[in-house]
Amino acid sequence: MKVSVILPTLNAEKYLFKLIGMLQEQTVKPHEIIVVDSRSDDGTLLLAKRLGARVMSVERKEFDHGGTRNLAAQKATGDVLVYMTQDAVPQHERFIEEIIAPFADTKVAAVCGRQIARPESNVLERMTRDINYPELYIHKTLADLDRFGIKLFFFTNVCSAIRRDTFIQLGGFPAPIILNEDMMIAAKCITNGYAVVYNPRASVIHSHDYSLKKQFKRNFDIGVSMRMNEWIFQYARAEKEGGRLVKEQLGRLWKQGNWRWTPRWVGEAAAKYLGYRLGVSYKQLPVLIRRRFSMHPDFWSNYDKSQIVRDPVIFKAEAQSVTNH
């Protein structure tokens, strides 16, 4: 299998040397590394070129989590598309080997890996990564819906892989989309009869240190993306999974003697819930408020509420070709 690694970037100069260096040292070498940059202000483009990556650019205000990744996929020539983010680093040299290994099963369309928090991350962030990304290998199909609920579609583009032909056949990521493009492509795969795998051996180092304000904004965007793709609600609701996560966090805090983090836990739980509920109700909010509540205010500048493009036009001709073969 030829592997095309796709990296959306914005001011990523401080990350690229280590990230691309690790990718080039993999036991399975990338066929190509494609950097799709949103007009960085630093030396991202020059460094990416110097490190041997293919480089393309989009206007910063035109960046879209789904559409920009679709654009890069259109330029890719590999059999498998491996998506990563600029601030994630493979934990070991077998990352690509492990993330494509489940494709030995022809029914598997997509794979995501494990995120391990950075050592300097706070208690709650490390706990969230441990809960969401366990060491257990998981194979998921639509038959597992009762077992997993909305978690059936849990997927991460921080470290993911998808067969390019299946990606094209399914129309790529929904676009425009403010967030959760990874969850939606996993849902597309599963509801079309494919399997999706979580392989913890395909691990990367990645975590965030979000303030309460950023937690609110991120979850507002999650709510927006769910409402814009509300077909997913016919399978399960997200609130139940969110409640399970915060309860498990609290239990672990007290069990591990980290009770001093309880006030922060309360603040994060409230920020996430309020952000999500407002995001789900975004249609009732003026655009100015949506922009203030969002981590991606430029999205609302480009968003045409009269037409959500769910199946990108750029894939339609090639999708027909794949289907015919």
Average pLDDT over residues 168-190: 96
- In the chain the first and final C-alpha atoms are separated, in Å, by 19
pLDDT at position 293 over 90: yes
pLDDT at position 323 over 90: no
Average pLDDT over residues 170-182: 96
What pLDDT does 43 receive? 96
pLDDT at position 238 over 70: no
Percent of the chain topping pLDDT 70 = 92
pLDDT at position 325 over 80: no
Q: How confident is the model at residue 322 (pLDDT cuts 50, 70, 90)?
A: very low
What pLDDT does 304 receive? 56
What pLDDT does 303 receive? 75
Average pLDDT over residues 167-172: 97
pLDDT at position 324 over 60: no
pLDDT at position 134 over 60: yes
Average pLDDT over residues 179-194: 97
Residue 240 or 267, more confident: 267
Claim: this prediction has a pTM higher than 0.85? yes
Residue 239 or 197, more confident: 197
pLDDT at position 310 over 60: no
What pLDDT does 320 receive? 42
- In angstroms, the CA 81 to CA 164 distance is 6
pLDDT at position 309 over 50: no
**For residue 257, what are its two tokens?**
């003697």
- In angstroms, the CA 73 to CA 238 distance is 29
Instruction: Kindly report the average pLDDT of the chain as a whole number.
Output: 91
pLDDT at position 305 over 70: no
What pLDDT does 295 receive? 96
pLDDT at position 199 over 80: yes
Give CA separation, 301 vs 32, 88, 146, 294, in Å: 33, 29, 39, 12
CA 293 to chain centre: 20
- In angstroms, the CA 102 to CA 164 distance is 15
What pLDDT does 281 receive? 97
Give CA separation, 152 vs 50, 68, 144, 275, in Å: 40, 25, 7, 23
